[in-house]
Amino acid sequence: MNNNLKKINVYAIYLGALILILPLIAFFINAFSFRWFYPQIIPKELSLQAWVRLKLIPKPGQRSIEGFLDLWTSNPAVIKALMNSLTIGILVTIVSIIIALPAARVLGLLNFRFKKLIIFIMVSPTILPPIAFVLGLNINFISLGFSGSFFGVCLVHLVPIMPYVVLTMTGIFANYNPDFEHQARTLGANKTRTFFLITLPAIAPGMVVAALFAFLVSWSQYLLTFLIGAGKVMTLPLLVFSTASSGNPALTAAISIIFIFPAILILFFTSKFVSGESGATSGFGKI
């Protein structure tokens, strides 16, 4: 590629990034402004009012460390939803990976009849609209008593998550050489140590990617939480929606920042695994 073309490409990427970031900047300004309306280019007045209303920042005059602590431990709705989202996300991620591990190993390493069909059936929840299966599921969940429970929400989050996790991990195992494990065994490592010393380091990068998918899918889940949680399990997406429908832009922007911040943080720390440079998505073979 010649140099000019290279430069143009780089600029194009910067431009793309800017377009992606612009709404975020608008969010930020909105969240810290007071009555910012069209056609003003910048808000007339900056304010923490939205944050105060969300009970994340104390009222003026109480902004000491104790003030913050008092406010946060009084468990405002946002913090509660944040904690719910985090716990559900982490729990569901861990469970999905533990379930996917043996399945992905078999699918990645062995060849057998109907393998493609099985993979297709497993992936099908991703192409099915959630509303299609959740209505049916809801009846079962109600009769089992899972409806409106934390457990039920976790369970239903697994439905859209599992295909991503199993598929990502199958990819790792497709390039994985199980002889490494056997080599370790003949050198005196028992099954447990072989898993932690040999298998885990080999699949870890891919597992990070799978975990990232799992967490983000759970994190942004609205419909399933709404229907199965029956309003009793409040997560951040639910709070974002209900706030947005109340029509206060500053409030909506503030809560949206709370919503996207963890996702950005996670992406930031895992991006090196997702980029093409890592062996994560190609398994052990390339390391």
Partner 1 sequence: MSDLKIINLVKNFVGMDRPAVNNVNLKINSGELVAFLGPSGCGKTTILKMITGLFAPDNGDIVLDNKSLLPIPTENRGVVMVFQNYLLFPYMNVNENVGFALKMKGIDKNVIEKKVREMLDLVKLPDIGFRKPKQLSGGQQQRVALARALIASPRLLLLDEPLSNLDAHLRDEMRDLIVTIQKKLNVTTIFVTHDQEEAVLLADKIALIFDGELQNYTSPKNYYEQPKNIKAAKFFGGVNFIKSKKINNEFISDIGKINYVGENINDLNDEINITIRPENIKLSKTNDFDHNSFKGNIKSIIFSGTHTRYKIIINNLELECSLQSLGIKNINQGDEIFVHLPKDKIWGMND
Output the smallest distance, CB 198 to partner 1, in A.
7
Residue with tokens 């895992």: 270
Rg (CA), the chain: 23
Output the smallest distance, CB 280 to partner 1, in A.
14
Give the number of residues written for the chain: 287
Q: Which is nearer to partner 1, 149 or 177 (CB)?
A: 177
Taking CB under 8 A as the binding criterion, the range among 14-22, 124-132, 180-188, 263-271 that sits at the site for partner 1 is 180-188
Our finding on whether 110 is near partner 1 (CB under 8 A) is: no
Taking CB under 8 A as the binding criterion, the range among 12-20, 139-147, 173-181, 218-226 that sits at the site for partner 1 is 173-181
Our finding on whether 179 is near partner 1 (CB under 8 A) is: yes
Phi, psi angle pair for 110, to nearest 5°: -105, 155
Output the smallest distance, CB 193 to partner 1, in A.
7
Residues 111-150 binding partner 1 (CB under 8 A) are none
Give the H or E element holding residue 215: helix 200-219
Residue 210 CA to residue 172 CA, distance in Å, equals: 10
Cα dihedral 220, 223, 229, 234 in deg (nearest 10):
40
Cis peptide upstream of residue 39 (ω within 30 degrees of 0) = yes
Residues 182-221 binding partner 1 (CB under 8 A) are 182-190, 193, 197-198, 201-202
Q: Which is nearer to partner 1, 20 or 187 (CB)?
A: 187
Output the smallest distance, CB 176 to partner 1, in A.
12
Amino acid at 142: I
Whether 95 contacts 151, CB under 8 Å: no
Q: Which is nearer to partner 1, 42 or 187 (CB)?
A: 187
Residues 265-284 binding partner 1 (CB under 8 A) are 284
Q: Residue 198 carries which DSSP code?
A: I
Residue with tokens 């090196």: 272
Q: Which of 126, 149, 177, 282 is in the footprint of partner 1 by CB under 8 A? A: 177
Output the smallest distance, CB 196 to partner 1, in A.
12
Q: Per DSSP, what are the bridge partners of residue 45?
A: 34
Cis peptide upstream of residue 178 (ω within 30 degrees of 0) = no
Question: In the complex, which residues of this chain contact partner 1 (CB under 8 A)?
Answer: 177, 179-180, 182-190, 193, 197-198, 201-202, 284, 287
